[in-house]
């Protein structure tokens, strides 16, 4: 069963599978603080300040698997761009929708805080 904290951490790390408009099955997980830090490092100092670019890169870095083929976390600008190209508009849209749906409701967080 585990502690409440362990359950929250396990749920946050669990992969979610979505299908895009092309029928691909894309597994993703919400990036942790460390994942985001590594993405900023991979992007470099200039692109890390470009919010639109970084937003798309974050969607791509959330992907862990495409059609059963594991996707390693990107570690360079070139790898980020290659993953974005591989996902295309359809894959990125599916990832963005899935991450938006799984975003915790701030009101629910406040209501359950301390419980």
Give the model's confidence band at 15: pLDDT under 50 very low, under 70 low, under 90 confident, else very high. Answer: confident
Q: Provide the 3-class DSSP secondary structure of residue 29.
A: coil
pLDDT over 70, % of the chain: 78
What would the mean pLDDT of 102-111 be, rounded to a whole number? 59
**Global pTM value:** 0.76
Res 39 pLDDT > 90: yes
Residue-range domain boundaries for the chain? 15-112
Query: How far, in Å, CA of 95 to CA of 37, rounded?
Result: 20
Res 73 pLDDT > 70: yes
């Amino acid at each position: 069963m585990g502690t409440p904290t362990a359950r929250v951490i396990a749920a946050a790390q669990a992969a979610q599978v979505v299908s895009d408009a092309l029928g691909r099955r894309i597994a993703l997980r919400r990036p942790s603080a460390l994942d985001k830090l590594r993405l900023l490092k991979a992007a470099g100092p200039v692109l890390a300040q470009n919010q639109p670019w970084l937003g798309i890169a974050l969607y791509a870095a959330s992907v862990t698997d495409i059609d059963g083929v594991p996707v390693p976390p990107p570690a360079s600008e070139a790898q980020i761009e290659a993953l974005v190209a591989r996902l295309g508009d359809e894959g990125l849209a599916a990832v963005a929708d899935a991450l938006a749906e799984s975003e915790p409701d701030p009101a629910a967080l406040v209501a359950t805080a301390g419980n």
